[in-house]
Amino acid sequence: MKKLFGVIGNPIGHSLSPHMHNDLFSLYGIDAHYHPFLVEKGRLAEAVTGLKAIGAAGFNVTIPYKTEIIPLLDWIDPLAKEIGAVNTVVNRDGLLAGYNTDGPGFLKSLEEGFPQLDNPAMLVIGAGGAARAIYFTLEKTGPLVLDICNRSLSKAESLVGESQLSVPSRALSAEEAAERINEYDIVIQTTSVGMHPETGESPIGLHNLNKKVHAADIIYNPAETEFLKQARKRGAKTLNGLGMFVHQGALAFELWTGIKPDADRMRETVLKQLGGAIC
C-alpha cells in the first residue's frame, strides 16, 4: 500500500518540498507520495486528526503552524521543545513524534559553505521562528560569541534569556549591530527581508563592514538578497538558503525512511523547479 507523506501550511502552493521528496521516493524505489495540504486557519487540529486517521506516515509543517502543532503531538524531540517549533512529524504506530530539522539543516549548510571556521563569533539577525531554530542549534556548537539583533529589541532579549548554556550572547538593536559588524566572523540573516516585495532591502546596514566576514542568508529565492549583495561587494564570502532548505528536507526524509538521501540530487531538483525564477 502506498505510503502518504505531505506538508501542511497556509499558503502552501509555492512549496518545492513535493518535487524534492517525490523524486527521492522514485530514486529509492519507495512506494510513497508526498502531497501539499492547505490547512485553513482554525482547522489545524482537524487536519492533524485527519492525517492520523488515514495513516499518513509523516509530514512537514510550515508557516504558520510550527508552534501551534506542538500540543497536538504525542512526543516532542528535546531540541524541538527548546526551539518551541516543529517542522517534521513522524507517525510511529499511531503516535505522532515532532522534530525540528531547520536548525540542524542550517548547521549542515553552514559547515559545507564555510568549512574550517573554529570557534567563530556569530551574529544572528532576527528573532522569529527560523532565528530560534538556528540560535538554539548553534549555541550547542560552542561559538566564541552568539549575539542576536532584531528590530524589536525585547524579542532579541527574550531569546537570549532563554538560553540554558554559558555562551556569551547579547541582544542588539539593528543600529548597534551595524556599528559592531566587524566584531563577527559569521553574520546570519534569518528574516524575510530580501524576499518579494522587499527584494531591494536589507535588515541591517553594512556600510561599516571592512572585514572579510562570512555572510549567510536563509532565503534562496532570490539567490542573492540585497543583504548578501552588499556583503559580497565588501569582500564577504556569502551563502544563501538553498543548502538549509535541502538539508532540512534530507533530515526529514531520513527520519521517515531511515535512508540518508542524496543531497546533491535534492539541490538539483530544487534548482530545476526554480528555473528562470531564481535571480
Mean pLDDT of all residues belonging to the chain:
95
Residue ranges per domain, the chain? 3-99+243-274, 103-239
The CA distances from residue 135 to 84, 143, 211, 250, in Å, are 12, 11, 23, 20
Tens-digit pLDDT profile for residues 141-190: 999 999 999 999 999 999 999 998 889 999 999 999 999 999 999 999 99
- Name the one residue in this structure whose C-alpha cell is 541582544: 171
Interacting residues of 227 by C-beta distance below 8 A, sequence separation 6+: 125, 189, 193, 194, 202, 203, 204, 206, 215, 217
Task: Supply the CATH classification number for the domain 103-239.
Answer: 3.40.50.720
Instruction: Give the DSSP letter string of 35-92.
Output: EEEE--TT-HHHHHHHHHHTT--EEEE-TT-TTTTGGG-SEE-HHHHHHT---EEEEE
8 Å CB contact between 44 and 65: yes
Among residues 52, 66, 140, 211, the one annotated as catalytic is 66
Task: Supply the CATH classification number for the domain 3-99+243-274.
Answer: 3.40.50.10860
218 annotated as a binding-site residue: yes
State yes or no: is 66 an active-site residue. Answer: yes
d(CA 112, CA 32): 30
d(CA 256, CA 218): 24
42 annotated as a binding-site residue: no
Tens-digit pLDDT profile for residues 29-55: 999 999 999 999 999 999 999 999 999
Instruction: Give the DSSP letter string of 221-246.
Output: SSSS-HHHHHHHHTT-EEE-THHHHH
Would you call 251 helix, strand, or coil by DSSP?
A: helix
Query: Is a pLDDT exceeding 80 seen at residue 279?
Result: no
Residue 278's pLDDT is 42
Tell me the three cell numbers of residue 253: 526524509
d(CA 165, CA 143): 11
d(CA 30, CA 33): 9
30 annotated as a binding-site residue: no
Query: Is a pLDDT exceeding 70 seen at residue 276?
Result: no
d(CA 48, CA 200): 38
Query: Is a pLDDT exceeding 80 seen at residue 130?
Result: yes
102 annotated as a binding-site residue: yes
129 annotated as a binding-site residue: yes
Query: Is a pLDDT exceeding 50 seen at residue 267?
Result: yes
